[in-house]
Amino acid sequence: MPYLKTGFALLLCLGLCVPLSGCFEPIKDTHPDQVLTKRRALFKQFTRTLEPMGLVASGRKEYKPDEFLAMVQDLEKLSTKPWVYFPTDGNYSPTRAKEAVWSQPQAFKAAQDHYQASVQALLLAARTSQLEPVQQAMDKVINSCKACHKDFRYE
């Protein structure tokens, strides 16, 4: 029953917010190479890939090992792509990246490496076709995302 209330609240919020979304002019990406637009698109792909995996890991969606493995393989391919879109001149409005991305490049690189290692561990877990290792590895992927956002992204 709480899920029905939550779902109704979400639909109500979307119903109220979507019509207003056309009232505001989006801030344009002014960089000649459109690096902000490109990295945002890749991070949206991350989200679209991770969300169904999270539903499986939390037990809200059936675990189908072959389908899950295919999603992890897609995530692995994505895991190396966005980092080139943080060039030295990539800190401009309307970015949500913190200055630390550019002022602490070694720490930012370490966060990337940690994320990619957690994705590799998830890939190994998914190859076992067992849910418990997948759930544990998925927690590590999500925690690496949260840690990077905490240090390098304004929410």
The reply to whether 149 sits in an annotated binding site is yes
The reply to whether 145 sits in an annotated binding site is yes
Q: How far apart are the first and last CA of the chain?
A: 30
DSSP 94-116: T--B-THHHH-HHHHHHHHHHHH
The residue assigned the tokens 């992204």 is: 153
d(CA 79, CA 43): 9
The reply to whether 17 sits in an annotated binding site is no
Specify binding-site residues for heme c.
Answer: 145, 148-149
List the binding residues: 145, 148-149
